Amino acid sequence: MNGLVEVMQRRYKLAGYIRREALGVCLMTLAVLMAISLALFLAEMLGDLADGELLLSTLAELLLLRLPEALLLTAPLALVVGLLMSLGELAQGEEFSVMRSAGLAPARLFRVVLVLATMWAAGLLLVSGWVAPWAEQRSARIAERMADDLLLASIRPGQFQTLGGGRLTVYVRAADLEVGRLEGIFVHFTNDDQVEVIAAESGQLFQRSETGERVLSLSDGVHLGHGTDSGGLPMRRIAFERNDIQLPLAGHEFQEDPSRWQFLPALLADSSSAAGLELQRRLMPPIICAVLALFVLPITLSGARGRRFGTVLAAVAVYLVYSNIANLVLVRADPGSGAWPGIWPLHAAALLLAIVPLASWWRRW
């Protein structure tokens, strides 16, 4: 009886040792991949900052709000690479041969990988279901505030300024940027096939509370308009006491799809096609984690020695192909035609491809 207890304790210690080794490598791999992703995001934001599309005061906050995006992008790959590296190291050191001789069953080894993959996938589900939508909502509010700040910061009294990606030209004689009050205003912009020119004595910048549109309200001026072809005819001239113009700014692009802002329970209760596609996008990282984790044991423990880094590169390639095909299917899906089947056939095919080598490895153990 004591011998049986000792054997069971030894097996639990072996499983715990493998779990700790694998988890440590997975976390270190995740930290490296997250750092690379955030560095790329920072480089992109610095480009927007140089182009005047981003304010320095919002740079750090927007970078932090992209942490969930970076985590969902890198965590599945970090799990697979971490498992391959840690288990491959144990296999090269003949430690698995010793564990097999000590009676470590394949089910227990598989349970170690399964527990890690389940914990990892549950964490990603928490991020994609609650943290990422909150970050989307927060980013949208910052974008609205930043658009007004960028507009005010771009106005230079006594100079012609090009706004809205070149669609709007503004000249202001004098300005009180604290309250958004402008004087001596000239505005030139293109609206569909019409060229609009407006001159006004004064104006005020404000945002409509009901729609969130940014508006330049002009007072005491003249509005000229003419076509872009046929010699500029017909031409019209309108004198006005007040004229409100919705500013066609081309600021930072943020997702406006309401389903991107919904938390997971609300998304599950939404029966629309757009919500169905968004649900598939949210579930994609956890599912990819679970499916790719099934490949780890047969690849690591059946490969030749010295090919550990080759299997890692193969895993990276498989992950990139898998995730990019899934994203491409979701992007090309038509919300009006329904969310089914979406990427579920792709997940099913990948799961089937994982089960076959896993079953073969199980028999050989």
SS3 183: strand
Q: Are 259 and 270 in contact (CB under 8 A)?
A: yes
Residue pointed to by tokens 């309108």: 238
Structure tokens given for 94: 């003949």
**How far is 158 from 171, CA to CA, in rounded Å?**
7
Nearest to 263 by CA among 154, 127, 87, 82: 127
| DSSP 8-class letter at 191 | E
Nearest to 183 by CA among 155, 149, 213, 150: 155
| DSSP 8-class letter at 304 | P
Residue pointed to by tokens 């329904």: 338
Nearest to 273 by CA among 322, 325, 330: 330
Please list the pLDDT of the chain residue by residue as tens digits (365 residues).
444 445 445 556 777 888 888 999 999 999 999 999 999 999 999 988 877 667 787 889 999 999 999 999 999 999 999 999 888 887 776 666 666 666 667 788 898 899 999 999 999 999 999 999 999 989 888 877 776 666 666 778 888 887 655 667 888 998 886 777 889 999 887 776 788 889 999 988 777 766 667 787 899 999 988 776 656 567 888 899 998 877 654 444 444 567 888 999 999 998 888 888 999 999 999 999 999 999 998 887 665 444 566 778 888 889 999 999 999 998 888 766 666 788 999 999 999 999 998 998 888 77
> Which distant-in-sequence residues (6+ apart) come within 8 Å of 291 by Cβ?
322, 347, 350, 351, 354
The CA-based diameter of the chain, rounded to the nearest angstrom, is: 102
Nearest to 81 by CA among 40, 114, 32: 32
Q: Are 205 and 214 in contact (CB under 8 A)?
A: yes
Structure tokens given for 28: 């270190």
Structure tokens given for 39: 């560095």
> Which distant-in-sequence residues (6+ apart) come within 8 Å of 227 by Cβ?
193, 194, 195, 233, 234
Predicted TM-score (pTM) of this structure: 0.75
- 331, β-bridge pairs: none
**How far is 127 from 68, CA to CA, in rounded Å?**
6
Tell me phi and psi for residue 233, to 5 degrees: -100, 150
